[in-house]
């Protein structure tokens, strides 16, 4: 099936779905183990808890200004 705008994730004639839309709305991927360990040391144990803490946090520039 050819890609057409507005057809992402549409059901094809064969009954399957286009791969272009797979996982587009489901952004919850597993957190890397290193990130889990780092956050656990800070007392953050779940991605929902991290989301709640960062939802209203001030923006921080992570790049060094030169």
58: left (phi over 0), alpha (psi -120 to 50) or beta: beta
Can you give the three-state secondary structure of 29-40, one letter per residue? CCCCHHHHHHHH
What is the model's pTM?
0.41
pLDDT of residue 3: 47
Of 9, 5, 12, 6, whose CA–CA distance to 20 is shortest?
9
pLDDT of residue 41: 92
Burial class (CB within 10 angstroms; exposed 0-12, middle 13-18, buried 19+) of 27: exposed
pLDDT digits (tens, 9 = 90+) for 1-59: 454 555 555 555 555 555 555 555 556 677 788 888 998 998 988 888 888 988 888 88
């Amino acid at each position: 099936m050819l890609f057409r705008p507005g057809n992402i994730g549409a059901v094809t004639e064969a009954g399957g779905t286009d791969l272009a839309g797979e996982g587009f709305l489901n952004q919850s991927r597993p957190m890397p183990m290193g990130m889990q360990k780092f956050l656990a040391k800070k007392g953050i144990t779940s991605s929902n808890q991290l989301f709640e803490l960062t939802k209203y946090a001030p923006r921080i520039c992570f790049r060094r200004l030169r």
